[in-house]
Every structure is written in structure tokens, then in C-alpha cells.
Amino acid sequence: MRNSQRLWASVKCCGYKIITIIIRKYQLKKAIILVSGGLDSATALAVAKNEGFECYALSFAYGQRHKVELAAAKHVVESIKCRDFKVINIDLSQWGGSALTSDDIDVPKNRSGNEMESDIPLTYVPARNMVFLSFAAAWAEVVGAKDIFIGVNSVDYSGYPDCRPEFISAFAKCAKLGTKAADEGWDFNIHAPLQKLDKAGIIKLGISLNVDYSLTHSCYDPSEDGRACGACDSCEIRRAGFAAAGIPDPTIYVG
């Protein structure tokens, strides 16, 4: 009788181990995806989803002059099913320094390509991606995610220093050193799948992944009813990207 009980206990133990192994093998990997409501972040989210990640979307109400992009982020996340979606409130407008967070700085418009590439634009928000990625790393620790996706781009990045590949690589090392990852012996993987694509390439990639770009918003200075201005750097780059990709631009522009 005792031998039978021991045998049954051994069988149950092995069964639990096998079930645990199977669950771990087929369990979805978790990833935090920064979603701004724009074209790039929507594509990055679609890439993460397509690669089999369980997606945790993260947006920020950071004191930006308009909230249209947050509504767009919500629509994007609803269309590309995510496990969770959070909007973090932080107020970078307290010190301003950007046309996106300061009412006394005008959004540059009607600039040529050379002008966009000549200097860091006034729409650059100081250290924004560094702040956002720090929040992403914190949430990643809580949910057990080792992967973070961000839609930065170094081809059509309009001179933003926090979109550079060197910064993304350096932040991944910093995130490991500043979290329990360093003690547990694993790395944060910061994915920037759009890093080397131009806007047309990003749009084509998104279309192949069924991204609905009509839900996205890119304009830095939209009208009160949410229409894109059509003249800021972001509108110019977006419009040119759709034209180069040979795909109709679903954006509703002023005029």
C-alpha cells in the first residue's frame, strides 16, 4: 500500500513538472510598448504583437499642448489588442523648453528638409524618451517583462537626440544596472524595430501588419477639432512618407 502511495505521489509530481514546463514553453513573452498615438509607435506595437509578445501599452499625459494624441493612442491600443494599457500623468510643462509643452514657443512650420536636418528642432522635448523608457522599465519589472518596444527612428527623426541608436543601446545597459535585472542576471531588450527605416518603409511595414493609420495622429499643432495642420515637421514627414509609399494618406488636414 505504501509503495503504491509513493508511486502515485511520484507520478503526480512528474505530472506537475511536465505541465509547468509546457506552460512556460508556450507562455507568451511580455513586452512594454510605448504608444504615443502616432504612426511610428502604432507600427512598433504591431511589430511586437506580430512577434508573439503579450503587449502592455504605455502612454503619457506629459503636459503636451494638445491631447489629441492620447485619444489616438487609446484607439490604436483598442485596435491592436493589448493585455493592459496605462496612461501616466507627468507634467514636463513645468519647465517647458519645447514647443510641445510651452505656450510661448511656436511650433515651427513650412520648413524645408534641409532646415529640419540642420539643428535640433523646437519640438524636441528635453530627455522625453529617457523619462518614458524609465517608466517602461519600472512597469516591466512589475509584470515580468524583459522587452521594451519604442518607435524611434534615426532616418526621419527630425534631429531628436533621444532617437539615436547609441542612446537606445546605452539606456538598455543603464536599465539593467538600475534594476533587479543586474542581480538576477538578465538583460532588458530595448527593441527599436523602425530604427533604420524611412517613413515610407515604416508605413509599408505597418500596412503589411494591418495597422489602421486612420486611427493615428502625428501633428504637433492640430486645430481645436483635431485636424492636422499639414505644415509642421511631423505633418510634412508623414505626408511625404505616404506619398513615397504610394499609399493614400488617411489624415484629415486643415483646409
Q: What is the CATH number of the domain that holds 155?
A: 3.40.50.620
**Taking a C-beta distance cutoff of 8 angstroms, is the pair 124, 161 a contact?**
yes
| pLDDT tens-place string over residues 65-100 | 888 999 999 999 999 999 999 999 999 999 999 999
Sheet with 29-34, strands from edge to edge, namely 84-89, 53-61, 29-34, 147-149, 189-191
Identify the pLDDT of residue 21.
42
Identify the pLDDT of residue 20.
41
- For residue 19, being part of any structural domain is answered with no
- For residue 254, being part of any structural domain is answered with no
User: Phi, psi at residue 194, to the nearest 5°?
Assistant: -105, 5
The domain total for the chain is: 1
| pLDDT tens-place string over residues 206-217 | 999 999 999 999
**Taking a C-beta distance cutoff of 8 angstroms, is the pair 190, 172 a contact?**
yes
Separation between Cα atoms, residue 190 and residue 202, nearest integer Å: 18
Cell triple for residue 110?
A: 513650412
176 contacts: CB under 8 Å, gap ≥ 6: 182, 186, 187, 188
**Secondary structure of residue 4 in the 3-state scheme:** helix
Q: How many CA atoms lie within 13 A of 224 on its CB side?
A: 0
Reading the chain (255 residues) residue by residue, the pLDDT tens digits are: 555 566 555 545 555 555 444 434 445 799 999 999 999 999 999 999 999 999 999 999 999 988 899 999 999 999 999 999 999 999 999 999 999 999 999 999 988 877 777 778 899 999 999 999 999 999 999 999 999 999 998 876 557 889 999 999 999 999 999 999 989 999 999 999 999 999 999 999 999 999 999 999 999 999 999 999 999 999 999 999 999 999 999 999 996
- For residue 124, being part of any structural domain is answered with yes
Which residues form the domain of 111?
28-245
- For residue 87, being part of any structural domain is answered with yes
**Taking a C-beta distance cutoff of 8 angstroms, is the pair 18, 182 a contact?**
no
Regarding pTM above 0.85, the answer is yes
Count of beta carbons in the 10 Å neighbourhood of residue 176: 19
- For residue 8, being part of any structural domain is answered with no
Runs of H (alpha helix) within 27-83: 39-50, 68-79
**Taking a C-beta distance cutoff of 8 angstroms, is the pair 202, 152 a contact?**
no
- For residue 135, being part of any structural domain is answered with yes
**Taking a C-beta distance cutoff of 8 angstroms, is the pair 76, 216 a contact?**
yes
- For residue 118, being part of any structural domain is answered with yes
- For residue 162, being part of any structural domain is answered with yes
Cell triple for residue 4?
A: 503504491
Cell 518596444 -> residue? 149
Identify the pLDDT of residue 2.
59
**Taking a C-beta distance cutoff of 8 angstroms, is the pair 234, 64 a contact?**
no
